[in-house]
Structure 1
C-alpha cells in the first residue's frame, strides 16, 4: 500500500506524527521525461499506449519492491497532437489527450518543464485542472517557481495540485520528491508573471523541510534542459539521494537494445557525481517521446543512505508489446480521429520541399544554422501579414521581418505529396504566438540582434540553438570564425544598399519596424533577444500560424513554387567564408534550381 501526502495540512500532520523511515528499503524508480505530446510513437518504437504496457510489465516484475513513477517535465509540446487538444474547446472544456495519457500511466510526481509554459500560464493551469478532473492524483512539482502572479496557477498551488515537493509512502517507507524547473524559463518560453527563483536555494530549502519531517530518502526530479547542468549542481547539494533529469534527451545505456547500440549512448546509466558531503549521487534520464521507461533500482540502508544503485532504461518496442487497450481506445484512437480531420483540410499546394530538417523530419534541424526556404516563407508571411494589418507601424520606417527558428517546428509538406493542409501549417508554427511589431529599431539594435542570432553557430557552420534568425526584407553576412558578438560582417537591404558594415559602420540613416512574433516581443531576453525591453512594441491579434496560412492562400494564391522558394535559398543569410559543407550543398541546389526572386522590403 502507499500514501501520498502533498497539502500543507497533511504535511503538518505528518510532521507532528514524527514520521521516520528507520528501515532498509528497496526502491525501483520508473521515470521518463520530455513526453512532448508524442503519443503515437513511430512505426516501431514509443507511443504512450505501448509505454503503458511496458511500464505495467515492469511493475509486475518488480512487485516485491517499493515503486515510484516520475515524469521530469515537458509533458506536452506544441504540434499537431497538442493542437487537437487546443481545438477541442475553450479553456475549461477542453480534452487534453496528454493529460489523459498521464493519468492512465499513474505517476507519483510530475515536474513542470519549460515547454509546459509554451502556451502561457492559463493553458498550463487548465491542463493540470483537467488532469485532476480525470482522476490524476500526482502533484505537479517545482520548488523554484513562484506562482503568486498568476492566480489560476496559485489556486492550484494552494490546493496542493502544484507543490514544491511531495512525500510518497510505500510499505511504510517515506520518500520525498522535489521538483525544479530551469532558471532560463523566461528566455525560452512564456511563463507570464511566474517568478523564477534560483534552483540551488530552492532545492536545499525543500531538503531541509523534508528532513525536518523525518524524510531521509529524497529524490530530485529536475528539468534543467541538459544533464550536464544537474552534474554541475551536485557538488553544491546536500541531502539528495538520486536525481532524475529532464530536458536533454540524453541516451544513458548499459546494454544495447532493438533501437540503440552502446555506441549511440551519451554515457552509462546512471551517471554519478559527488555532492557537497562527498557522497555519490546517481543521475539518470532517458530519451524522451515515450521511447524508454527508465528503471533505476536503489537500495537504502536503515539510515536512509544509498548503498547500491543499478538499472537500465527499457526500450518501448512496439514489436515486443501490445498497446494498452484502455489508452488505445480513450486516448490514441480519439486523437487520431481529430488529427485526421484537421489534416484533411487542404489550404494550398507546393512543388518544392519546404525545409526545417535536412532531407526530412529525421534529419538535422538545419533551420537553426542556415537560411532555409521554409524560414524565408515564414519570414515573408510575417512581413506580408503585418503590412496588411497595418497596426503598430511607424511612418517612414522600413519594415523588415525576423523569426526565431526555434518557433518553427516542422517541415512543410513533410510527406512530400505536394499538398499543404491546415494541420501541417499548424505543425510548422504550433505555439500560441501572435504577430508583433518592434518599432523604431536603430541600425545598432538590429546589428546586435543579428549578432545574437549567429552567436551559437560553430566555426564549421553547424548550430542547434533556436535563436538563429530567419529573415525577410534584408540580408546579412557573418563570419563564424570570429568571436561571438563580433561576427556580423555586413547588413544590406535586399536592393543591395548597405545598412551597416564592420569596416564602415552605420550607412543607413533611417530606422526599422521589425515584424516578429509575440514571444520575441516579450519581456526579458527570449532566445537571447532584447526586443521586449524596447519602448515601441505592438502585439497584434493575428496568430503567427494564421499569418502563414493567409500568406499561402492569399499572398501566394494557394501555391508555393520552387521559383519563389528554391531549396537552396536566396542568399539572405550568408556565411563568409562559406563552410565547405554548406558551399557544396548550396552550389548543387543553385545549379538545379536557379536563383530565386527576392521579396521586397516595405517602407511604411
Structure 2
C-alpha cells in the first residue's frame, strides 16, 4: 500500500517499549475524510470459485482471480485511502490446489490480490511453526497478533499492531486470535506461545499505537459469534466489542470478526443491536446504529466480503459516519485478474497430473454435510475409521475425529480436468481419484497406534458424547472395531452405559489394555482427548497415503457397505425405556 508523504508505517515487535513516531507530532487535519476498509474472513485458500448466494440462489463467486479484480476496482475508487485485510485462516483446511503444495499457491495468490494485513486463526498453525514461518516469509503483507506471548522466541515478522496512513488518517490495525486456538490444533503447534485474553491485549496495543501517533483503530479478530437458543447472539467477539465500548473506544474504531453463517453487523453499547445481511442483491448496503462499538462479520471463503466506509476526523480520530456494503463477488461480473491466473497455471497442471490417479470406483456419495458427520455415525466416518483399523497392526479399535474429515467422496472441492471420467452429477459408479481423498483429508496427520486402558477408552468416549451436543462438534469421534451406547439424560461424565468390541466382548472402565489405531493429532491430546497421551505407542504412515492404499484394495466401494442401520456402532438411547439396561 502506498503511504502519503509525511507519514511512516509503524509496526512494533512484541516488546512493549515503543518510541513515539515522528508523525505523532504532525498537525493533522480537522476536516473529515472518507476511507475504505475491505475485509474478508476465513478464506482458507479457496483459490477457485465457490458458491455464493443471492436471494437464495447459488452463483459462482469469489476465487483468487475474481476477488483480485473486485479489489482492484475498490482501490481505484478510493486511491490511497483503502486497506485490504483478513481476519485469520486465510490458509489452512484448504482445497487441493493449495494443500497439495503446502499452501504456497494461496500465499502467492494473496500477494497478487493485494492483501495488506492479516491475523492468525487456528488453522494457520495446523502444520506447525516451521511451516507457518515459511508462509509468513513468503507473504507480502503484515501479520498482527496482540494477544500472543513470547512471539520473538517462536516467530519472526509478527507484530501486535501497525499504524498506517489511510487517506490522511493514522489508523492503528490491531490483531487478536482466539484463546482457544491452541486446543484446536496439534499439541505443541504454538511452540512456547500462549494466547492471552483479547480485551486487555487490544487496550494495551491501542495505547502503544496512540503513542506512535494513531488517532483511530481497526481490530481484526479471529473471534466468533453464535446464535443463542433465545435467538440472540453470544461469543467472544461480542465480549470484546463490549469491553472496547466500556473503555470509551466506540467512536474511534471498528471491530471485524471471523466468518459468520451470514453477513452480520452489530453495534454493541449498553445493549447489542445486530442485523444479518439478507443478500438479495450482489451488493447489500447496511447502516449500523449510531451508538456503540461497530462490529462486522463476513461469510467464509470469500462468499461475501465487506467494503466498510468510515468518515473520520484525522486530528481526533473520531468517526462521524460509518456504513458497510456486503458484496457477493459474482464471478461473471468482472474479468478475472490475468496475473493471478497466470501465476497459478503451473500449479494447476502439476496438481492435475498428481490428483488424477485412479483409486477405485464408487457407487454413491459418502456425504459429510447433510448427514452431519460431526454429531452422529455416518458412512463416510465409518469408511475412514475402518481403513485405519484395517491398516493397523492387529488393533482392537480405531477412532478419528470428525473435524479431520473435511469433504464428501467424491469431493466437490476437487474437479479433475479429464472430462471423460465418470463424476457427479452423472450416473454412478464414479471414478474415485487421489484428489478426492486428499480433499476429504487435507490435514497432515500420521497413523499412530497406542495401547490404552479400558478406563482411558471410557473417558475418551465420554468426551466424544459430551461434545456431540455442541454445534459443529469437530471432536466428535467416528469409530471402528467397537460399539457403544449412551444416554444424554444421565449426568455428564457418566452418559456412556456400555462399550463392547465387535465380537461382543464388553470393555470395562478398568486397567485392561487394548490396541488403538488413530491419528497423531488425537494421540497427543488434540480436541480435548486428554486421556490418550497417557498411553505408549508408535507412529506409522501418512493418513492420506494409508487411506488411498487401503481403498486400492477394493475394486468398488459404496456407502451401503459402511453403514448398517440394524447394527449401529454409536447408539443414542436417550429417552428409550431400558436403553441403558444390559
Do the structures match in fold with TM over 0.5? Answer: yes
For 1:298 and 1:124, locate their aligned partners in 2 and report how far apart those are by CA, in whole Å. 33
What residue in structure 2 maps to residue 596 of structure 1?
none
404-413 or 346-355: which moved more? 346-355
Q: For residues 517-576 of structure 1, give each alpha carbon's deviation from its aligned partner in whole angstroms, at most 9, with x where no partner exists.
A: 1111225xx322214542x243514111122122212xx444425563247585111122
1:375 and 2:381 aligned: yes
1:69 and 2:84 aligned: yes
For 1:457 and 1:532, locate their aligned partners in 2 and report how far apart those are by CA, in whole Å. 19
Q: CA deviation at 1:39?
A: 1.0
Alignment match of 1:124 (pick from 132, 137, 140): 132
Alignment match of 1:346 (pick from 351, 358, 362): 358
Asked whether the equivalents of residues 272 and 281 of structure 1 are also in contact (C-alpha less than 8 Å), the reply is: no
Alpha carbons of structure 1 residues 28 and 563: separation in structure 2 relative to 1, 3 Å: closer
What residue in structure 1 maps to residue 473 of structure 2?
465
Alignment match of 2:279 (pick from 256, 260, 267): 256
What residue in structure 2 maps to residue 529 of structure 1?
529
For the residue of structure 2 that corresponds to 1:322, the secondary structure is coil
Q: CA deviation at 1:509?
A: 6.4
Alpha carbons of structure 1 residues 200 and 12: separation in structure 2 relative to 1, 3 Å: closer
What residue in structure 1 maps to residue 200 of structure 2?
201
TM-score (norm 1): 0.78
Alignment match of 2:325 (pick from 312, 318, 342): 312
What residue in structure 2 maps to residue 236 of structure 1?
243
What residue in structure 1 maps to residue 498 of structure 2?
490
Asked whether the equivalents of residues 406 and 466 of structure 1 are also in contact (C-alpha less than 8 Å), the reply is: yes
What residue in structure 1 maps to residue 397 of structure 2?
400
Q: CA deviation at 1:149?
A: 8.2
Alignment match of 1:145 (pick from 142, 148, 159): 148
1:291-302 to 2 correspondence within 5 Å? 291-301=303-313, 302=315
Asked whether the equivalents of residues 259 and 299 of structure 2 are also in contact (C-alpha less than 8 Å), the reply is: no
What residue in structure 1 maps to residue 10 of structure 2?
5
Asked whether the equivalents of residues 20 and 211 of structure 2 are also in contact (C-alpha less than 8 Å), the reply is: no
Q: CA deviation at 1:481?
A: 4.4
- CA RMSD in angstroms comes to 3.0
Alpha carbons of structure 1 residues 272 and 125: separation in structure 2 relative to 1, 3 Å: farther
Q: For residues 37-86 of structure 1, give each alpha carbon's deviation from its aligned partner in whole angstroms, at most 9, with x where no partner exists.
A: 111113621211111111222222334x7222111110112331222313
1:74-223 to 2 correspondence within 5 Å? 74-78=89-93, 79-86=95-102, 96-131=104-139, 136=140, 138-148=141-151, 151=154, 153=155, 156=156, 161-190=157-186, 191-193=189-191, 194-223=193-222
For 1:511 and 1:149, locate their aligned partners in 2 and report how far apart those are by CA, in whole Å. 43
Alignment match of 1:518 (pick from 507, 517, 520): 520
| Structure 2 residue ranges without an equivalent (≥5) | 51-58, 227-234, 265-275, 412-422, 577-582
- Alignment length (residue pairs): 516
Q: CA deviation at 1:165?
A: 0.8
Q: For residues 450-495 of structure 1, give each alpha carbon's deviation from its aligned partner in whole angstroms, at most 9, with x where no partner exists.
A: 122122334xxx9521011100110112234445434323212112
For 1:569 and 1:269, locate their aligned partners in 2 and report how far apart those are by CA, in whole Å. 51
Q: CA deviation at 1:259?
A: 6.3
Q: CA deviation at 1:209?
A: 0.8
For 2:496 and 2:282, locate their aligned partners in 1 and report how far apart those are by CA, in whole Å. 42
For the residue of structure 1 that corresponds to 2:311, the secondary structure is strand
Alpha carbons of structure 1 residues 567 and 121: separation in structure 2 relative to 1, 3 Å: farther
For 1:202 and 1:12, locate their aligned partners in 2 and report how far apart those are by CA, in whole Å. 15
For the residue of structure 2 that corresponds to 1:246, the secondary structure is coil
